[in-house]
Amino acid sequence: MSDTVVVGLDVGGTSTRAVALTLAGERLGDGRGGGGNPTSHGAERAAGELLTALRGALSGVDPTRVRAGTIGLAGAGRLLADPAGKAAFDRAWRDAGLRCPCSVHGDALVAYASGTASPDGTVLIAGTGAIAAQVHDLRLDRVADGHGWVLGDAGSGFWLGREAVRRLLAGLDGGRTAGPLATQVLTELVGSARVAAHPRDTVDAVVQAVTRRPPVELARLAPLVVAAALAGDPVATGLLDEAAGQLAESAGRIRPPGAVDPVVLGGGLLTGDTPLATAVRAELGRRWPDAPLRTAGDGAAAAAWLAARDLPEVTDPTALHPLLVPPTT
């Protein structure tokens, strides 16, 4: 059993991570590649990054020892439905010397499994976008939001950025003095916190600065909201509370009242000790007081654990989880 190796990959929009682990939890290798999302980068390039990350994780590892592997990526369903994309990923897998089967799961399931071994629960993710999903028997079941920035992603980084600009514009319309968050958003967008003699000129400059870029880039303003909230700006704190309410509402569309299985928080805005995570924990605690709240952690390790679960020698997947997946809070 100690000879058996499992491989996990966490394929994200900006980086790809791979890990090779023994079933005893020994970390044999880590690998990294660039962004590998086949939807945004194209299947060939994504498969190339996958291969780079895999080779990093497998340097010094006999690939015939690898008995199972899992890839977690956003849009997994689209990849599996696209024969050319699937072929490119299969080729990268073989080019890395791997002969074992490889399963593909959505990034939401992998984020969930990075925070808990419980077969049933909820995962709530807020990064640039936002999505909630029920997990049943370690498969994604019902999903809420993830509708994209035009129609949804309520409480996401995009949403926070857009609302921060909307509050700035409302203040300029009303002739109010800009608070700390508005000042920082104004400076970020137009290079100065000075309001023109005709405030409508500043309004127009802000609108133009936003509409010059793809709207989804409003998400890059989210860290300003987080920072302003940490500095005590009530406008920023109010936005985070509102975002937390929206995220909890999305989860509430699919998670039954009174559920006691775990909720895993994932995505850049909810992992780590962020004020949005604090607000979301408070909101979830009100709605589901008896549910354990967990944070997503090492996605590549979680993918490796998901792969290991199906091996005949793994009789207790739950007991294996803490060996393979570093614990989170």
* E strands, the chain, in order: 5-11, 15-22, 27-34, 66-73, 102-106, 121-126, 130-136, 139-145, 263-266, 293-295
DSSP 220: G
For a copy of itself, the closer CB: 210 or 259: 210
Least separation, in Å, of the C-beta of 263 and a copy of itself? 17
Site map (CB under 8 A) of a copy of itself, residues 62-91, x = contact: ------------------------------
Coil/strand/helix, residue 70: strand
C-beta of 235: minimal distance to a copy of itself in Å?
A: 16
d(CA 98, CA 269): 35
Quick check: 173 binds a copy of itself (CB under 8 A)? Answer: yes
Buried b (16+ CB within 10 A) or exposed e, 117-149: bbeebbbbbbbbbbbbbbbeebebeebbbbeeb
Q: Is 136 in the site for a copy of itself (CB under 8 A)?
A: no
24, 81, 87, 170: which one binds a copy of itself (CB under 8 A): 170
- Among 88-96, 98-106, 120-128, 172-180, the segment contacting a copy of itself (CB under 8 A): 172-180
Residues 238-297 that bind a copy of itself (CB under 8 A): 250, 253-254
DSSP-derived secondary structure letter, 270: T
DSSP H or E run through 125: strand 121-126
Can you tell me the distance from the alpha carbon of 228 to that of 184, in angstroms, rounded to the nearest whole number? 9
Residue 100, Cβ density class (10 Å: 0-12 exposed, 13-18 middle, ≥19 buried): middle
- In angstroms, give the least distance from the CB of 143 to a copy of itself: 6
Beta bridge partners of 259: none
Region from 6-14, 160-168, 288-296, 300-308 binding a copy of itself, contact rule CB under 8 A: 160-168
Which of residues 64, 200, 272, 327 is near a copy of itself by CB under 8 A? 200
Tokens coding 326 = 């570093």
Work out whether 148 is an interface residue with a copy of itself (CB under 8 A): yes
181 binds a copy of itself (CB under 8 A): no
Binding residues for a copy of itself, rule: CB under 8 A, are 142-145, 147-148, 150-152, 162, 165-166, 169-170, 173-175, 199-200, 203, 207, 210-211, 215, 218, 250, 253-254
